[in-house]
Structure 1
Amino acid sequence: MTGALVEATGLSRSFGGGGLLRRPGVQALRGVDIAVARGEAVGVVGESGSGKSTLGRLLLGLLPPSAGTVRFDGQDLQSASRAEWRRLRRRMQIVFQDPFGSLDPRRRVGAQILDGIAIHGLLPAAKRARRLEELLRQVGLDPAQAGRFPHEFSGGQRQRIGIARALATGPEFLVADEPVSALDVSIQAQVMALLAELRRQLGLALLFISHDLPVVRQLCDRVAVLYLGRVMEEGPAELLFRAPAHPYTRALLSATPRLDPRQRPPRIPLLGEPPSPASPPSGCVFRTRCPHAAADCAAVVPVLQPFGESRRVACLRAAELA
């Protein structure tokens, strides 16, 4: 993508394998291409085990890829020196899924929010208290609560603390890894509204990882659908939700609850159980659960290719099903 802030090409990542028992490794990602432009929100959806969180960590450089490249503002993360990494690190941050487990229960929240500023030496000590107040107000918390410990806050408040900590260094790219899945529905809406407003105010590039499709539709400009480590479909959120092209995307959307049952598309059941990532099917990895699979789906790995004007689909039958 021209002008992308973050861009991955041919990204793959394997875990484990080998040893005395010659156990097969698990390939969490397989040849993924994805990009996030400045100020853009890209959603990544899929079932558990599809590789969503692994992708987020690879884009942040928290994991090295087994193959492929990740570039941040044109810099190849694999070739970055320690000094370059230090400068890059403050420009990219993450909000974790568990708002309690991601905080140190023995430290006051104000000190944890300021960790990034202290590590990178961004402000003199005399100005950090003012910055802390700004961050807490920015996420809708009272600055007077900075001296409290994590257990004194609700789940939604703890996630706001995690967001404030991520924003402290002034990042340009934020990975939100299922940030509302552990919260009550009413609190989810509040945190989602906060993320949308912060993205607008700060011009953040956002990778939003979720299994909740309505939440992704609400926040994201584009969506990538992962299945067993591969991108099945990628394109503008409204188009993808209105007219999904890949059978897997259609099945996911057919299972999404709707307020008006008359607006719900016919349910498309997914056949069988998800295959093991350690022993994926040949050809199209989705073929064993796809109602439209044919003989060639077992022999050919479908390439993610343009479909229409603005999206890409990895399916041999996409044109027939349109």
Structure 2
Amino acid sequence: MTSGPLIEAVGVSKTFRGGGLFRRGRPVHAVRGVDLAIPRGAAVGVVGESGSGKSTLGRLLLGLTPPSEGRILFEGRPIAGVSRAEWRRLRRHLQIVFQDPFGSLDPRRRVGAQIADGLAIHGLVPAAERAARVDALLRQVGLEPAHARRFPHEFSGGQRQRIGIARALAVQPAFLVADEPVSALDVSIQAQILTLLDELRARLGLTLLLISHDLHVVRHLCDRVVVMYLGRVMEEGPVRAVFEAPAHPYTRALLSATPRLDPARRTRRILLSGEPPSPSDPPSGCVFRKRCLHARADCAETVPPLAPHGPARRVACINEHALG
């Protein structure tokens, strides 16, 4: 175990090559030049509009997608190019809870068998003890041991997501990515699943990356927040600092669109012009410049570095007058 970050992205980019069988399309720049260090035990939220690269970043950190450039480090060591045996060990520590609780489970298999898969693959529990371990995992996520004998179609969406969480936790991971874990659920169920994730993180000492379009969720569950736009990180820092005093113009626009119950703390809505550019044809310089109210001529020429901005905070903007 190292004293540095649990997981780290160093200059990570991901480009997908477009096109079909007989034609070559334009490359899609999903993630571009991301540097991110996630401390052990932290809860980090990743926010941004659709197409900002949030889910791709999560998959890169898990090793599910190889980067086009840069490195992913787990406990200080690269995860690329390791032996099959070493990758199996790493795979146990890197787990995901998917967005779709209906599509993430095999409809032909009982849920107990699906939860037990990881235990068998990684040899964590003897075969004679797996049923008891599955029962304990079901209780841990608020379900009953008898549910192990049922099939996925017999459960509600919220219950299926609890099963997905139990399956991810079965192998005792160190790092868990929750990719929009409640967006497919009824509003009445969302708070229950988020509370469960928060309780499990505290109890088990998990390091959590929460991908969400809901800024309220990130504010209440996370220690730090990463704001992405068109594959780049615009702002990163402690949740309270970023939400109370957003520095980047894009962060301010996102937060201004979030409803607030306290009338005294409501802010003027910042309307961004147009739609986000295509990741296959990003603007030169600052990717946000075509929608930024503070854009200058040099914003088209310079890619703004993610530079320090106050304690434990970074912002990507070369226009000091635009920063909050």
**TM-score class normalised by the smaller sequence:** over 0.9
Task: Name the amino acid aligned to 2:240.
Answer: E
- Residue pairs, 1:1-322, within 5 angstroms: 3-17=4-18, 21-318=23-320, 320-322=322-324
For 2:95 and 2:41, the matched residues in 1 are separated by 15
More moved, 2-11 vs 201-210: 2-11
Instruction: Tell me the CA shift for residue 263 of structure 1.
Output: 2.2
Q: Percent identity?
A: 72
Task: Name the amino acid aligned to 1:7.
Answer: E
- CA shift in 2, pair 1:144/1:126, >3 Å: same
Instruction: Tell me the CA shift for residue 2 of structure 1.
Output: 6.3
Q: What is the aligned-residue RMSD (CA, Å)?
A: 1.4
For 1:99 and 1:302, the matched residues in 2 are separated by 38
Instruction: Tell me the CA shift for residue 310 of structure 1.
Output: 1.6
For 1:212 and 1:176, the matched residues in 2 are separated by 13
| Preserved contact between residue 60 and residue 93 of structure 1 (Cα < 8 Å) | yes
Deviations 1:207-254 (A, max 9, x none): 110010000011000000000000000000010000000000000000
Instruction: Tell me the CA shift for residue 17 of structure 1.
Output: 3.8
For 1:318 and 1:255, the matched residues in 2 are separated by 23
State TM-score, norm by structure 1. Answer: 0.97
For 1:175 and 1:95, the matched residues in 2 are separated by 6
Instruction: Tell me the CA shift for residue 144 of structure 1.
Output: 1.1
- Unpaired stretches in structure 2, ≥5 consecutive residues: none
State TM-score, norm by structure 2. Answer: 0.97
| Preserved contact between residue 176 and residue 209 of structure 2 (Cα < 8 Å) | yes
For 1:6 and 1:231, the matched residues in 2 are separated by 17
For 1:242 and 1:280, the matched residues in 2 are separated by 30
Deviations 1:286-305 (A, max 9, x none): 00011111111111110001
For 1:72 and 1:318, the matched residues in 2 are separated by 35
| Preserved contact between residue 141 and residue 166 of structure 2 (Cα < 8 Å) | yes
How many corresponding residue pairs? 322
For 2:320 and 2:71, the matched residues in 1 are separated by 28
Deviations 1:56-95 (A, max 9, x none): 1111110100000000112211121111101111111000
Instruction: Tell me the CA shift for residue 318 of structure 1.
Output: 4.0
For 2:316 and 2:269, the matched residues in 1 are separated by 22
Task: Name the amino acid aligned to 1:4.
Answer: P
For 2:285 and 2:19, the matched residues in 1 are separated by 24
For 2:105 and 2:122, the matched residues in 1 are separated by 19
Task: Name the amino acid aligned to 2:209.
Answer: L
| Preserved contact between residue 245 and residue 318 of structure 1 (Cα < 8 Å) | no
Q: Secondary structure at the match of 1:90?
A: helix
